[in-house]
Structures are given as structure tokens and as C-alpha cells.
Structure 1
Amino acid sequence: MGTLSMEQAIKIYLDKRAKEDSLFAEVYKKANKSIEECIKYIYSQARKLAKGENAVGVDDATVYGWAVHYYDEDNIKVEDVKERVEVVAPAIVQEPVVQEPVKEEKSVKQKPARKKTKQELFDERQLSLFSFE
């Protein structure tokens, strides 16, 4: 399967949500709304979040929340924003190989698995990276 564009990923999410949520399905049909303008709204929200910086990382839940908000609200004015979006995939987490215990005369104690640091847990979450020029 190829890589999805941001527009495709947002549309898939919104289509799925509309199937599962009849109230959202109604607002999703609004004639004055479009997926293209929804994406521009998301970019403008990311720019505000960046507060003048050249890039900002935004988690999936926030981006999808902005998309839903765009459809829910009728008084949203969308600004044109020059942007570039890069989706950063989470680091691959390798599970430790579990070996079957070997029956021996003496038992072998295994070290308990170490807990992941907050940074490692953060790095595992998928982030969308918005860059502004």
C-alpha cells in the first residue's frame, strides 16, 4: 500500500466518522464545506500553534479534531497558508525475542523488562510535522 496524502488520510478519517456518527454525518454534508478548505484550515491552525516558528509537530488526534471542528462550525474563515507537510512515522519498536525456557537443573533468573522513558513513549506516537516558509 502506498503512502497516503494528508488530504486522503483526513478524508478517510472523516468518512469513517460519518458512518459511525449520524450527527456528524449531517454536518459533513454541508454544501459550503470541502475537504480542500478543511486542509487549509488545518494548516492555518498548525501555523497558529507554531507561533512564528518554522515548524511544529502535531499529534494525529489534534489534527483530526481540527478537521471535525471545521465541519461543525459555520463561521470559520480559512486563510491561505503556504506550507509543507511531512508525516513522521513512529520509530519501530522491536519486541524482545521470547525463548522457550530450557529445563535445566538450576533456574535462570531473567531481568525484568525496563520501563520506557517518557521520551521513548512520545517518539512512538505518530506526529505530523508542518513546515512553514
Structure 2
Amino acid sequence: MSNFETTIQTYLDNRAKEDSLFAETYKKANKSIKECCKYIYSQARKMAKGSNSVGIDDATVFGWAVHYYDEDNIKVDGVKEQVEVATPVTTPAPSEKSIQQKPAKKKTKQELFDERQLSLFNFDA
């Protein structure tokens, strides 16, 4: 059994434990994990529309697996199988050094003069 088939079977087993209605559907004698995976491949091919590859999220793939067991009239023949699993790419959080801060606003002559100007009210008694 391939890793893909094992992953699908694990998901369906867990779903059957949690959902008693699906558990009955999952027991159908005319259904198999191998056929279920072929159905998933065929759906992916349809989604690719002639392209060599397509990206599909987990929820959609697992949804197809459940659908395969729900429907009795699904027939799958001659499906070319190939699955590549890619983990999502995460970018590291930017460090403080990599964040560029805006340069401080240059003070005008008047602002510099105002800073140096003494005031009668600034003296501590």
C-alpha cells in the first residue's frame, strides 16, 4: 500500500469512528481504498484540465474520498496514478534587522532653535 493510500485509509478510519452514519457507508463490500484512490486521481485529472500538474488542498481530496464511499454508481477505469505531496512553504518571520525603518525626519532650523531655547518654567526649584 502506498503512502497516499495509507493516508486516505487513516482519514477514513478516523472519520468512521467519529461518524456512525459514514461508518455504515464505509463498510460497503464493493468499495476499496485502491479504487477510492483511483477515483481521487481521476478527479484530480479532471481538475488539471490537460495540464501535467495541479495543486489540491487536503479538504478537497478527503471530500472526494468520502464521496466515493457515499455513491454506489462510481466506476473508475484506466486512471494513470501519480501523487506528489508537497508541504506548505512557510517564510520565516522577519527579524528586527531585516525590517527597514523609515529614516527620522530631519529637524528644521526653527525646531533646533526651540530645543536650545531656555525657558523660565523649565528650572527645578
Q: Choose which of 40, 43, 57 in structure 2 pairs with 1:42.
A: 40
Task: Tell me what 1:20 maps to.
Answer: 18
- Comparing 67-76 and 47-56, the one that deviates more: 47-56
Unaligned runs of 5+ in 1: 98-110, 112-133
Look up the SS of the partner of 1:24 in the other structure: helix
| Aligned residues of 1:13 and 1:64 also touching (Cα < 8 A) | yes
Deviation track 1:65-88 (CA, whole Å, cap 9, x = no partner) reads 000000000001112211311000
Task: Tell me what 1:63 maps to.
Answer: 61
CA positional deviation for 1:54: 1.0
Task: Tell me what 1:79 maps to.
Answer: 77
Task: Tell me what 2:52 maps to.
Answer: 54
Task: Tell me what 2:116 maps to.
Answer: none
Number of aligned residue pairs: 96
1:19 and 1:50 map into 2 onto residues whose CA distance is 33
Q: Which has the higher helix share?
A: 2
Task: Tell me what 1:91 maps to.
Answer: 89
Considering only aligned residues, what root-mean-square deviation do their CA atoms show, in Å?
1.9
Task: Tell me what 1:9 maps to.
Answer: 7
Task: Tell me what 1:129 maps to.
Answer: none
TM norm structure 1: 0.66
Unaligned runs of 5+ in 2: 96-100, 102-125
Q: Which has the higher strand share?
A: 1
Amino acid at match of 2:17: K
CA positional deviation for 1:64: 0.2
1:93 and 1:28 map into 2 onto residues whose CA distance is 39
2:49 and 2:69 map into 1 onto residues whose CA distance is 24
2:11 and 2:92 map into 1 onto residues whose CA distance is 28
1:95 and 1:23 map into 2 onto residues whose CA distance is 44
CA positional deviation for 1:96: 6.3
Q: Which structure would you say has the larger RCO, counting Cα contacts within 8 Å and 6 or more residues apart?
A: 1
2:5 and 2:19 map into 1 onto residues whose CA distance is 21
CA positional deviation for 1:95: 4.9
Bigger Cα Rg: 2
